[in-house]
Amino acid sequence: MNAEKKAFREQQIAKLQAQAQATQAAGEGLLAKLTQLPSWQAAKTVGMTVSNPFEVPTAPIMAAALAAGKQVLIPRCLPKRQMAFLPDPGPGQRIKSAFGIPEPAYDEAQVNDQPDLLIVPGIAYALDTHARIGFGGGYYDRFLQRYQGPTVVLAAPVMAYATAAWPVEDHDVKIDQILTID
């Protein structure tokens, strides 16, 4: 693992934890922007993760998607740092992964690895290059290398950087759109 990235992740996660309330509060405005995107409006399936307390909250996004008749897909981590998107069974039916992340049960017949829109998680985003840095597992970069649809991130102020403050590597996949709070 890149030592510079590791150090940045540690600092950024501490910042995110310290500003969790502000990030949660930014969620409403980011959701409003998201629902105005043509890619959101056209999507019948939307892939996203179940957020943790210091990320932009995804429960309201899931509710908005369901209210608009969209299917919500959430990732299931697989061996070899792979993941598959499956229909969200709802909070009561999710299973905690080894990482403590709520996931759907795996059913190969239900896998949809090409959702119409993918909301990509991360801990920081570069506004100039659309680079992102995640939690360090590489699951999303591996997935994004074969994903062909539009990608968007919801960047609370603490997550938005004018330019990357971390090393960007060749395997780091750029995001199509970064939504921020003005």
Q: Residue 112 is part of a domain; what is its CATH number?
A: 3.40.50.10420
60: Cβ contacts below 8 Å, ≥ 6 apart = 27, 28, 31
Query: Which residues are 70's β-sheet partners?
Result: none
**Mean pLDDT over all residues of the chain?**
93
- pLDDT for 87 beyond 80: yes
Q: Which has the minimum average pLDDT: 13-22, 35-44, 96-105? A: 96-105
pLDDT at residue 82 above 90? no
Considering only residues 80 and 115, tell me which one the structure prediction assigns the higher pLDDT. 115
Q: What is the pLDDT of residue 124?
A: 96
The answer to whether 4 and 135 have CB atoms below 8 angstroms apart is no
Which pLDDT does position 148 carry in this prediction? Answer: 93
What is residue 171's predicted lDDT score, i.e. its pLDDT? 81
Domains identified in the chain, total number: 1
pTM above 0.75, yes or no: yes
- 1 pLDDT band (50/70/90 cuts)? low
**For residue 172, what pLDDT band results from cuts at 50, 70 and 90?**
confident
Confidence of residue 101 (pLDDT cuts 50, 70, 90): confident
Residue 18: C-alpha distances to residues 48, 74, 112, 130 (Å) = 24, 27, 35, 24
Q: Which domain holds residue 116?
A: 3-180
